Amino acid sequence: MKRLTLSLALLTVGMMSAPAFAQTIVKVGHALTMNSHTGAGTTAFCDHIESQTQGRYKCQQYPNSSLGGEREMIEAVQLGTLDVVSTSTGPVGNFVPEVKIVDIPFLFRDYDHARRYLDGPGQELLTKFPSKGLVALVWTENGFRHMTNSKRPITKPQDVAGLKMRTMENKVHMDGYRAFGIQPTPMAFPEVFGALQTGTVDGQENPIPVILAAKFSQVQKHLSLTNHVYSPSLLITSPRFMNKLSEADKKIFYEAAKKCAAAQRARVNEDENNGIAQLEKEGVSVVRKVDGQAFRDALREVYVSYSKEFGAENIRRIQEFK
Ligand code: EAX
């Protein structure tokens, strides 16, 4: 009798937790911790989908690069072994070349410029994805990138001369950084902490939210607020995944993507406001006054080659967007 009661109880619990309908798992991968701007974004995305579909869709999140680097996660989305990736544009230009234009250093003036451009004319770039086996749901955000290193404070290009710095696997960045005088060393994000720790590279560059989330304060002495490039992010899935959704569910996924961008940008704002003081508390010495003009001037020649690749008019149109 006791056993019967127990199995009845288990049965009831089982019935309560198992949904009465088929539940589709949505696998979502990203590079950082759950407690980061990226985690805030994917969580807002997942919450919206789960609540609006009454649990017909359920997310499984794979944070902390547990499925590999961003390039590998994008490949997994193309292959269909991962459903959604939240990724910086770092490796995206290797899949969708047109996107590389937004990775040009000193292209955007400030957050307002970048966000309004991407939400406006920048929507056109999202149409380039489906022919590459990808669907870009929304522009999210990584933030303005700053340099950190273990050697010296950086205020001007002369200070970075010869520094070995990890960069993303992004040719537009690498060309620009070489013009600054840096020795760029491309590397997938999961390897960066170790490379900084062992001294394989002297430094790296990333936005404040990433520097915080990845705990680079443990392995870097100096942070310079160089703001040398805006780093957009994207929430990416595949045509294969989208085509399985009903029209109504597609709408829910696009709404969820908007929630993702809003939550992610809100967390970037928060990290920008509080993160620098936090990093100082963790022992990082911060250079706030950087000779931005000298860094811009160092790019004069490489801007000629950017203009050849992307069209001077197209670059100007972004820079002058009000
Ligand atoms: O998306 O690779 C990078 O430096 C990125 O900024 C990081 O993975 C966050």
DSSP 8-state symbol, 283: T
Q: Structural domains in the chain?
A: 22-319 (3.40.190.170)
Average pLDDT over residues 52-67: 98
* Cα-to-centroid distance, 174 and ligand 1 (Å): 14
Question: Over the stretch 249-278, which tens digit does the pLDDT of each residue have?
Answer: 999 999 999 999 999 999 999 999 999 999
88 C-beta closer than 6 A to ligand 1:
yes
Query: What mean pLDDT is reported for the chain?
Result: 95
pLDDT value, residue 16: 53
Question: Over the stretch 197-236, which tens digit does the pLDDT of each residue have?
Answer: 999 999 999 999 999 999 999 999 999 999 999 999 999 9
The rounded percent of the chain whose pLDDT value lies above 70 is 94
pLDDT value, residue 21: 75
Residue 119 has pLDDT above 50, yes or no: yes
Which residue did the predictor score with more confidence, 3 or 232? 232
C-alpha to C-alpha distances, 225 to 145, 200, 214, 277, 278, nearest whole angstrom: 8, 23, 17, 13, 14
Beta-sheet pairing, 57-62 with 24-30: parallel
pLDDT value, residue 4: 52
Rounding to the nearest 10 degrees, give the CA dihedral for residues 304, 305, 306, 308. 90
213 C-beta closer than 6 A to ligand 1:
no
142 C-beta closer than 6 A to ligand 1:
yes
* Cα-to-centroid distance, 193 and ligand 1 (Å): 12
d(CA 161, CA 163): 6
pLDDT value, residue 22: 87
C-alpha to C-alpha distances, 114 to 11, 45, 109, 130, 159, nearest whole angstrom: 54, 21, 7, 23, 28
Cβ–Cβ < 8 Å for 219, 281: no
